[in-house]
Structure 1
Amino acid sequence: MKKALLAVISFCALVFTGCNSIGDKDTLVARVNGEPIFKEDYAFIMRVGNIVPNTEQMRKASSSLFSRKALYTVALQKYPELKEQLAAHNAALENYLLTFVYQRLYTMDRLMYSDDELAFYYDKHRDQFADSLSYMNLRDKVADAKYIESNYDSLKSYAFHHRDLADSNAEVKITYDIKERFVSDHRQRIVRETGPALLKKYNIQETKIQMPSVEEYYEKHKNLYMIPNGFVVFHVESADSAKLAKRFKHRKMDLGSFATLASRYSENPETKKGKGSVGKVLIGHSLPYGIGFVNSMFADLDTLPDGGISAVHRSESTGRYHVFYRVSAVPAEVKPLDRVRKTIERDLATTANYELDSSYVLVTMNGEPAVREKDVLAVYNDNGMMIRSRKTHDQIVSSLALQLAFATEAREVGLDRSWEYRAMKRQSDVDYIIKVYRNKVLSRIVVPEDSLKALYERMGNPAHPTLTYEQSRSELNDWFEIPENIMKRTYYYAEEDFLPDTYEQAKNRVFEQAYLVFRNARWDKEVVTSWGTAKVDLFADNITLLPQEWSVELAMRSADSLYTQAKSLQKAYLAWSGIRDRYADIDSVAKKATFELAHVYSDMEDYDKAQREYRVFYRTWPESPDAEKAMFSRGFILNENLHKDAEALKVFEEFKKTYPKSELMESVDWLIQNIKSNGKLADDLMKKIASEE
C-alpha cells in the first residue's frame, strides 16, 4: 500500500541533456518537512543505480527518495540527540564516502576525467550516443569514448598485439570488441595499481602489532589452557538397561558394596577384575577400558555427592549401558607453562586475538598516527554481526589504510567539494538516521517494568526461552502490545501446524511467529505515517505526487479501487495485506482487509491461500454477517479447486450445524451429496444440461 501511495515523480525535465548535463545540479526541486531535495540527488540515484528516466524503476527510486526524507525528518524531530550521533558517525565515515566517490564515480565511472570535460565531449559527439538515454546513464560510455580518442595510438598498438596470430597477413582491425577490451584492461589496471600507488604517495603504513610474550599471554589467559574438571568413578556395565536399572533401583550403597556388585555382574572384562574401577574421568573426554563417550553422565555426576550412584547412561560409542559410582570430584587445573608453550607460540603467531588499548596506533601517515584501535572498534560497533577475530581485525586495518589513501587523494583533486559527494553524504545521513530510528521503534518499551518482570517470572521469554530477562524485555513488551488479530490470524492461517492445541494452548508457539509480523507492521506504519503527515513543497512543475496516506479510510478506498476498478490484483494484494498488518488493532479494518484478501487470492487463483484467509475470517469473526459466506467459500474452494473432498466435507458439515437457516443451505446440501457420490451428481447434471441443449 505504501508503495502505491508514495511520491511518483516525472523526470522529463530533470534528465540532464546538452551543455547543462553537469551544471545546475544544486538546483532545489522540493522540500519535505523543510528538508531540501536537489537536482543532484536525482542525478546520484540515476548514476549509482544505473536507473533510466521515465521507467517504473525510476518512479520507485523517486518514491523512496521522498518517503525516506520524510522519515528522516520525523526521526530527528522525535529524537534531537540523533544529530550528535550523526555528526560522530559522519566523522568516522568521511574517508569511506570519499573512497567510494573516488573509486566508483571518479576512477571507474569517469576514468579520472572531470565532469566538465565529459560534458563538453558529450555535447560535441552526441550523435555517437543513444537518444533514449540521459547523460547520467551514458557517462561511463562517454568516458570510454573520450579515453579511446585521447589514446588512439595506444589502441592501434593494442589491436596489433591482439590480432589473429594464426594469420600473418591478417589486417589489424579496431573492432568494437577490441575497444571494449582496451578500456576494460585500463580499468583493471587502475584497480590493481591505484591503491598501492596512493599508499606509497602519502607514506601510509600499517604498524607491526607487538604481541605479548608467551609468559604474559599465559598469565592473562590461563583459562584457555586448563585440564577440565572430572570425577573418580567406578561403574557397572551391561547390555540390558532394564536389568541394570532394577539392580540399582534404590541407588544407595557404599563403595564396597558397589565394587562387589561390579566384580560379580559387570560385563566389562577389563574393569570387572578391578571391581569396577574406572579411575579419573574428565568432562568431555572419552572413558578408558572401551567404555567410550558417555557425555550424559557428567551432568548427572555433578549433581551427586561423593558416594552417589548415577542413573543408567548409554555410551554413545558402544551403545552399552552403565551405572556410575562417584568417589570424588577432580577439580580443573591449569596446565603448566612448559606443557603449553608451543601451543601459545603458535596461537600468538596465527590466531590469538589482539588485545590493544583504544589509543594503539595501527596506521601512520608520514610517520604520524592516522588510524588507532578505537577506529577498528567503531567499525565493529557499526557492524554488530561482524565476527571479532584476528583475521577480521587485519582486514579492517588494511581497509582503513586504503580508505585513508583514497580519501586523501580525493580531497587533493577536490572531490570533497563535488556534487556527487554532497549527494552521497545526504543519502548516507538519511540511511544512518533511519537505521537508528528503526532500532528505536522496534525496541521501544512502553509496558511498565514490573509487568514485564512478572510475565518473565511466570513464563520466561515467550519467543526465545533461553534468553535472560534483560535480553527479553523487547519480546515481553511485544507480548502485551501485539494485537489479538495478528495472533489469531497466525494461528488460524496455519491451524494444521498447531493442532491438536487450541489457540489458547498454542499461544506461545503462535507468538514465536507472530511477533516478527507485528514488528514489521509497526515499522511499516511508522514509515507510512511519516509520509502521510509530511509537508511537501514542490518547486518543479513536472513533479507530481499521488495522495499521501493520511488516514486509514483513504488507504482502504485506494486498495478497493485497485481491486474493483483497476483490476490490479498484485497491487491490491500488497495494499490490503499492508493495511491489515498496519491497522491490526482496529478490528473493523482487520476484518475488512482479511475478507478482501481472501477474494483477491481467489481471483489470483492462489486457492490454498484463499481458503486459509477465509478460515481466518470466520474463525476470528464468527458473528460477522459475512462469516457464513467465508465458510461456504472455503468449502467450495477445497472441493472445486483443491480437490480436497474430505476437508471440504468437514467444512460443509460444520456449516450446516453453525448456520442451519442460511440461504446457502440448499447449495451446501447439494455439494455434500455430490462429494459423497464421488462427483456423480455433478456428472449427471452436466449430461442433463448437454442433452437439453
Structure 2
Amino acid sequence: MKKKFLALLALGALLFTGCNSIGDKDTIIGRVNGESIYQEDIDLMVRLHGESSKSEHVKSSIASLFSRNAIYSDALTRFPELKDSLKNRSRTVDNYLLTFAFQRFYAMDRLMFSDSELKAYFDAHRSLFGDTTEYMVVRDQVAEKLFLERNADSLAAFIKKKVAEGGNVDTSSEQLSAQFIRDFRERLVNTMGDSLEKVYNLVLVPIVPPTPEEYYQKHKDWFMTEPGFEVYHVEMADSVALAALFYTDSMDIEEFKKIARDNSINKETAANDGYVGKVLEKHVLPYGIGDMSPMFGQFKDKPIGTVSKPIRTFMGETFHVFYLAAVVPSRQKTLEQVRVAIDNEIKNGISYDLDSTYVLVTLNGEPVVRESDVNDVYAANISIPKNRRTHDNIVNSLMQNIAFAHEARKRKVDHSWEYRALVRNSALEFVCNLFEYRIRHAVDYPEDTLKAVFDKIGNPAHPNLGYDASREDISIWLEMPRSLMKRTYYYRLEDFLPDDYETSVNRLFSETIVPYRNAKWERVTTDAWSKAKVSLYVDSINLLPQERSLDSAVLALDSLYHAQQLEKVIVGWEGLRNRYPENDTLVKKATYEIAHVKSETNDFDRSQREYRSYYMLWPDDPNAEKAMFSRGFILTENMHKDSLALEVLEEFKTKYPKSELTESADWLIENIRSGGKLADDLMKKIEAEE
C-alpha cells in the first residue's frame, strides 16, 4: 500500500491555489490587485477536474480562483510577515509539488510524452476525439492513442498472450488495449518509486526505541499524580434555593458545615458536615455525586475558603455548591511505579517517541528526512492521526517524494507549465489558510480583560476548559453583539422555554460561536473581493459580483426580488445579516425582508419565527406591529394553529391599540372564534356576487 501513495496526501490541505511565479506573459488572462492569473492556472483546473473550461464546475472554480487571489493579497497587506512564512516553507513542499507534477501529469496523464508531442498529435487527429475543441480536456486520451501507436509491437504481443491465456478475459481489441495502458500506469505507480529510491541511494533508517530510563527522564512531567482538592459540599434539588444560602464566594468553614448539616439532601455527606474528601481531577466524586468537572475549573488558582457557584449533577436533577478546604498538589511517580506502563508504551504505543533531530532517511549516507519533517506534516494537517502507521506512511512518502523530485528535475519537469501552476496554487492556498486561521482564532482584547472575565464567569461555551484554552472564546464573548444571541433565542423560543434569555445565554453562546466565527471569516473574504482591483483580459470568464458597499448589496437584492429570484434573495439577506451582526439597522431590515420573502416561498414556519424575533427584538420599531400581525395571520391562515394565533392577535391588540391593522386583527379573531364561519360566509357572498 505504501508504494501506491501517488503523492504525499498529508500535505494536500496546504497545497492548492496561487501566487506570482514564472509564466509566459502571453498567457496572462487577468490580474487581481496586480497579481497575475495565467491560462496555465485554468488549464490545471481542467486537467484536475477532467472537465471542459465551459463546465459549471470549472467556471465556478475559475471565479473562486480570482476571488481567492483577492484574499491572498489582502492577507499579505494585513500581515506582511506571512511573506516570510511563505518563503520559509519546508522543502518537502517543493518535493511534493515536483512529485505530483511528475506522477500525475508527466507519467500518468501524458504517459511520459512531452506536451508539444501530444498537442501536435491532437491537431493532426482531431476526428479521433469527437466534437471537442479543447485539447486539455482530452489530453490523457491523446496520450493513450499515441502510446498505442508507438508501442504497437508490444501491444500485439500483449494481445496474443491474453488471447492464448483465454479464461474469462475479455479478448476484444479495445478492452485489451485499455488493459495494456492500465498495466503500464500501474507499473509506473508500483515500481518506479522503488527503482528511483535505489537509483538515488535513499535508505530508511531503523527506529531504535529508547530505554525505559531514557523515556522516563525525557517525560517525567507525564508521570505525575493528578492534582485535586479537599472539599465539602451541599446538595439540593432547587438551584435557586441553594444559591440563596450563599451570599458570598468565600466563607468560614464552620459556617459552611452548618449549612451542609441543615440543608444537604445527601444523607451520607450531611452526616459528616458535608465532607466529601480529597478528590482528584479527571476522577468522579464519591457518595453518588459523580462527574463534577466544572468544580475543578472554578477552584483553579483560588484561595482556601472559596465557595463554588451551583453546579448541576451530570445527567441528573440536583445541584451542588462546594467548599475548597485544601489544595492537593500532584506528585512525581517513581520509575518503578510506571515501568510496566513505559515498557508497554515503548513496545505497543500509539506513536513513536523521537527527538526532532532524529534521522529517518539518508541519501548517499547523508540525512535528508528527520523527525522534524514529519512534525511539519502533522502541523500542516492537524486532522490526521498521530500514530505509528501514519508516521511510517509519511516517512515513506517523504522518501519517495525526494526520489521523484530528483528524477523530475533530471527530466526538466520543474520547467513544465503544470509545475509552475502548482507552485502558484500552492502558495495561494498556504497564505489563505494561514490568514483564515488568524482571523478565526484572533484574540482582540488585553490579557487582563480576558482574565477578569474568565475569573468571573469561566468559559460560557466550554465550561470545562481552563483559561489558556478559553482565551479565544472569551474574546468572542466580549465581541459578539448580544442582539445576535437574542435573535437566536426569540427565533427558537420553543427550544429554550421555560428558561428566559438570561438563563439561556451560555447555551446560546455555545451554539452561536461557531456560526459567528464562520460569518466573521466570510465577511473578510467578501470585503477582500469587494475592494479588489480586477482586470480581466478574456470574455469567456464570468466572475463573482463584487459587493462594493452595503447600499449596492441591498439594491442588488431588491433587483433580485423584482425578478422573483426569491431563494437568492433569502440567501443574500441571510449573508448580509450574518456578516454584519453589529449593524442593527441592517440586521433589522434583513430580518423583516427574510420573514416576508419566506412567507412568499411558503416557508411559513420560518417566516413566523423571523417575524416573532423581529417584534420581540425591536418592539418600538414602526414595522413591529406589522410583523406581529403578519405572524398571527400566518399562524391561522397558513399553519392552522388557531389557539396560538389567537394569543398573538390578542396581544397585538393590547400592544398596538391604535394600529391601522386593528380592524383586520378583529376580523381574524372573530373568524377563529367562529370556527372559520366568517371566512365561509365571506366566500359565499363573493361567489354570489360573481
Query: What TM-score range do you get, normalising by the shorter chain?
Result: 0.7 to 0.9
**2:123 maps to what in 1?**
123
**1:657 maps to what in 2?**
654
How far apart are 1:190 and its partner, in Å?
2.2
How far apart are 1:130 and its partner, in Å?
3.0
Say if 1:34 and 1:92 are closer, same or farther in 2 by CA, change over 3 A: same
Say if 1:640 and 1:152 are closer, same or farther in 2 by CA, change over 3 A: farther
2:497 pairs with 1:499: yes
How far apart are 1:419 and its partner, in Å?
1.0
Whether the 8 Å contact between 1:110 and 1:143 is mirrored in structure 2 is yes
Q: What whole-Å deviation, never above 9, does each CA across 1:91-113 have from its counterpart, x for those lacking one?
A: 34111111221222222222222
Secondary structure of 2:502's match?
coil
How far apart are 1:521 and its partner, in Å?
2.0
Distance in 1, Cα, partners of 2:451 & 2:541: 52
Say if 1:644 and 1:100 are closer, same or farther in 2 by CA, change over 3 A: farther
How far apart are 1:374 and its partner, in Å?
1.3
Secondary structure of 2:501's match?
coil
| Equivalent of residue 375 in structure 1, options 373, 376, 380 | 373
How far apart are 1:345 and its partner, in Å?
4.8
| Equivalent of residue 628 in structure 2, options 627, 631, 635 | 631
**1:135 maps to what in 2?**
135
Whether the 8 Å contact between 1:226 and 1:335 is mirrored in structure 2 is no
2:210 pairs with 1:189: no
How far apart are 1:162 and its partner, in Å?
5.0
**2:232 maps to what in 1?**
none
**1:590 maps to what in 2?**
587
Q: Which amino acid aligns with 1:30?
A: G
**2:388 maps to what in 1?**
390
How far apart are 1:561 and its partner, in Å?
1.0
**1:96 maps to what in 2?**
96
Secondary structure of 2:356's match?
coil
How far apart are 1:372 and its partner, in Å?
0.9
Whether the 8 Å contact between 1:26 and 1:40 is mirrored in structure 2 is no
Say if 1:227 and 1:374 are closer, same or farther in 2 by CA, change over 3 A: closer
Q: Which amino acid aligns with 2:75?
A: A
Q: Which amino acid aligns with 1:534?
A: A
Secondary structure of 1:504's match?
helix
**1:77 maps to what in 2?**
77
Distance in 2, Cα, partners of 1:144 & 1:107: 12
Q: What whole-Å deviation, never above 9, does each CA across 1:634-661 have from its counterpart, x for those lacking one?
A: 2222223333333222222222222222
How far apart are 1:478 and its partner, in Å?
1.7
Distance in 1, Cα, partners of 2:611 & 2:145: 61
2:557 pairs with 1:559: yes
Say if 1:654 and 1:283 are closer, same or farther in 2 by CA, change over 3 A: closer
Distance in 1, Cα, partners of 2:481 & 2:292: 45
Q: Which amino acid aligns with 1:682?
A: A
Distance in 1, Cα, partners of 2:142 & 2:594: 49
Say if 1:540 and 1:341 are closer, same or farther in 2 by CA, change over 3 A: closer
How far apart are 1:159 and its partner, in Å?
4.3
Distance in 1, Cα, partners of 2:130 & 2:184: 24
2:472 pairs with 1:474: yes
How far apart are 1:555 and its partner, in Å?
0.8
5 Å-filtered alignment, 1:478-489, equals 478-489=476-487
Whether the 8 Å contact between 2:49 and 2:58 is mirrored in structure 1 is no
How far apart are 1:500 and its partner, in Å?
2.2
Say if 1:47 and 1:336 are closer, same or farther in 2 by CA, change over 3 A: closer
Whether the 8 Å contact between 1:33 and 1:536 is mirrored in structure 2 is yes
Whether the 8 Å contact between 1:214 and 1:341 is mirrored in structure 2 is yes
How far apart are 1:160 and its partner, in Å?
4.8
Say if 1:470 and 1:645 are closer, same or farther in 2 by CA, change over 3 A: same
**1:309 maps to what in 2?**
none
Q: Which amino acid aligns with 2:42?
A: Y
Say if 1:386 and 1:660 are closer, same or farther in 2 by CA, change over 3 A: same
How far apart are 1:554 and its partner, in Å?
0.6
Secondary structure of 1:505's match?
helix
Give RMSD over aligned pairs.
3.9
Distance in 1, Cα, partners of 2:617 & 2:636: 23
Distance in 2, Cα, partners of 1:25 & 1:74: 24
How far apart are 1:68 and its partner, in Å?
0.9
**1:615 maps to what in 2?**
612
Distance in 2, Cα, partners of 1:655 & 1:537: 55
**2:527 maps to what in 1?**
529
**1:3 maps to what in 2?**
none
Say if 1:166 and 1:91 are closer, same or farther in 2 by CA, change over 3 A: closer
2:457 pairs with 1:452: no
Whether the 8 Å contact between 1:52 and 1:133 is mirrored in structure 2 is no
Distance in 2, Cα, partners of 1:552 & 1:123: 50
Say if 1:597 and 1:122 are closer, same or farther in 2 by CA, change over 3 A: same
Whether the 8 Å contact between 1:25 and 1:40 is mirrored in structure 2 is no
Secondary structure of 1:629's match?
helix
Q: Which amino acid aligns with 1:625?
A: P
Structure 1: runs of 5+ lacking an equivalent: 1-22, 231-243, 253-281, 287-291, 304-328
How far apart are 1:115 and its partner, in Å?
0.8
**1:47 maps to what in 2?**
47
**1:108 maps to what in 2?**
108
How far apart are 1:26 and its partner, in Å?
5.8
Secondary structure of 2:31's match?
strand
Whether the 8 Å contact between 1:485 and 1:590 is mirrored in structure 2 is no
Distance in 2, Cα, partners of 1:435 & 1:644: 48
Distance in 1, Cα, partners of 2:281 & 2:614: 55
How many residues were matched structurally?
Answer: 599
Give percent identity, aligned residues only: 46
Say if 1:475 and 1:133 are closer, same or farther in 2 by CA, change over 3 A: farther
**1:239 maps to what in 2?**
none
**2:272 maps to what in 1?**
251
Distance in 1, Cα, partners of 2:268 & 2:373: 65
Q: What whole-Å deviation, never above 9, does each CA across 1:252-274 have from its counterpart, x for those lacking one?
A: 8xxxxxxxxxxxxxxxxxxxxxx
Distance in 1, Cα, partners of 2:445 & 2:267: 53
Whether the 8 Å contact between 1:69 and 1:430 is mirrored in structure 2 is yes
Whether the 8 Å contact between 1:601 and 1:607 is mirrored in structure 2 is yes
Distance in 2, Cα, partners of 1:112 & 1:297: 63
Q: For structure 1, which segment, 589-598 or 621-630, has the greater mean C-alpha deviation from structure 2 after superposition?
A: 621-630
Q: Which amino acid aligns with 2:172?
A: K
**2:666 maps to what in 1?**
669
**2:152 maps to what in 1?**
152
**2:306 maps to what in 1?**
none
Say if 1:541 and 1:684 are closer, same or farther in 2 by CA, change over 3 A: closer
How far apart are 1:157 and its partner, in Å?
4.4
Whether the 8 Å contact between 2:42 and 2:53 is mirrored in structure 1 is no
Secondary structure of 1:609's match?
helix
Distance in 2, Cα, partners of 1:583 & 1:343: 53
Distance in 2, Cα, partners of 1:135 & 1:100: 21
How far apart are 1:245 and its partner, in Å?
7.2
Q: What whole-Å deviation, never above 9, does each CA across 1:655-674 have from its counterpart, x for those lacking one?
A: 22222222322332232233
**2:210 maps to what in 1?**
212
Q: Which has the larger radius of gyration?
A: 1
Say if 1:676 and 1:187 are closer, same or farther in 2 by CA, change over 3 A: farther
Q: For structure 1, which segment, 52-61 or 107-116, has the greater mean C-alpha deviation from structure 2 after superposition?
A: 52-61
How far apart are 1:552 and its partner, in Å?
0.6
How far apart are 1:424 and its partner, in Å?
1.1
Say if 1:156 and 1:607 are closer, same or farther in 2 by CA, change over 3 A: farther
Q: What is the TM-score with the length of structure 2 in the denominator?
A: 0.77
Say if 1:588 and 1:341 are closer, same or farther in 2 by CA, change over 3 A: closer
Q: What is the TM-score with the length of structure 1 in the denominator?
A: 0.77
5 Å-filtered alignment, 1:296-445, equals 345-351=343-349, 353-445=351-443
How far apart are 1:564 and its partner, in Å?
1.5
Whether the 8 Å contact between 1:227 and 1:334 is mirrored in structure 2 is yes
Q: For structure 1, which segment, 614-623 or 683-692, has the greater mean C-alpha deviation from structure 2 after superposition?
A: 683-692
Whether the 8 Å contact between 1:28 and 1:39 is mirrored in structure 2 is yes
Distance in 2, Cα, partners of 1:200 & 1:191: 15
Secondary structure of 1:506's match?
helix
